[in-house]
Amino acid sequence: MKKGILILAVVSGILGACTPKEKGETPKVSVGNQIIEDLNSRYTSKAYDKTKRVSPEDLATIEEVLRLSPSSINSQPWKFIVIRSDEAKQRFTNTFKKYKFNTHTKNASEIILFANKVHFSKEDYKKRLDASVAAGRLNQKGYDKQLEAAFGFAKMVADENGNNGHWTKAQSYIALGNVLHALARLNIESTPMEGVDTDEIQKEFAKELGDDYECTFALAIGYHKDGKDYNRKLPKARMAKEDVIIEL
């Protein structure tokens, strides 16, 4: 055996004999345990360290999680405005006239505004179907069928003026749930915020939102400030399983 191959064989033999911990790996836990650990470890942060920033790589993952979120009839009736620069953060802070208790989030690494379309129209849905055709998911026959049948649902939940904002808003909460778990996985802290001023955001971010999108909640992300984040130390509090789960 050549010398190089012999060394390689010895080293891999030693590593093979090590436990995962000795090798510097995390011990294998079941996927179920991992999920529960993620959900137990995540919490709503109340103080951010403004010197710590989410890496561009993690931010790209987060943006992809938002984009990949599922929605009714694949409507994707949302826009996510990712506030990163100091200037954009200042614009966001300017909107906190009513909900001052959330101003701590100005020290977060990013703030994501979740916006939903107020009148999700047939024209909007056609763009989604065009994307399905481009992805090879739908042919022309399927396109026509979906436009009638699936869009019929969006029409059904709209009022007489075509306002289906309550339904599109519900879709954006799915993206919120999705990203909260992904953030826990990435060990990034977050603060979901319904305590935001929709009207003020509409004024401040009119250009980015466009005229038929409303933002009713936001999500701050980043890293907690050591010793300042009182929520970090508190135990998780949830209703008991028997109060909320019914197995039949």
Ligand X SMILES: Cc1cc2nc3c(=O)[nH]c(=O)nc-3n(C[C@H](O)[C@H](O)[C@H](O)COP(=O)(O)O)c2cc1C
Give me the residues that bind ligand X (CB under 6 A), please: 43-44, 102, 191-195, 217, 231, 236
Residue 96, C-beta contacts closer than 8 angstroms, at least 6 positions apart: 102, 103, 196, 197, 200
Nearer to ligand X by Cβ, of 146 and 172: the residue is 172
Whole-number Å distance between alpha carbons of 159 and 88: 35
Minimal distance, residue 187 CB to ligand X, in Å: 15
Structure tokens at 235: 């135990």
Minimum CB separation from ligand X for residue 165, in Å? Answer: 16
For residue 180, the one-letter residue type is: L
CB of 42 to ligand X, least distance (A): 7
Min dist CB 27 to ligand X, Å, is: 26
Question: Which one, 154 or 229, has the nearer CB to ligand X?
Answer: 229
Task: Name the residue number minimizing CB distance to ligand X.
Answer: 195
Least distance from ligand X to the Cβ atom of residue 127, Å = 28
Cβ proximity to ligand X, 71 vs 102, nearer residue:
102
> Least separation, in Å, of the C-beta of 206 and ligand X?
22
Instruction: State which residue, 168 or 191, has the beta carbon closest to ligand X.
Output: 191
State which H helix or E strand residue 2 sits in: none
- Burial profile 95-113: b = 16 or more Cβ within 10 angstroms, e = fewer: bbeeeeebebbbbbbbbbb
- Separation of alpha carbons 77 and 174, rounded Å: 11
* Token pair recorded at residue 193: 């915020």
**Residue among 108 and 158 whose Cβ is closer to ligand X:** 108
Q: For residues 204 and 70, is the Cβ–Cβ distance under 8 A?
A: no
- Whole-angstrom Cα distance, residue 33 to residue 41? 12
Rounded Cα–Cα distance for residues 96 and 57 (Å)? 30
Residue closer to ligand X (CB basis): 207 or 233:
233
Give backbone dihedrals phi and psi of 202, rounded to 5 degrees, phi first.
-60, -40
Shortest Å, Cβ 192 to ligand X: 4
- The rounded distance, in Å, linking the Cα atoms of 22 and 88 is 46
Nearer to ligand X, 44 or 163 (CB): 44
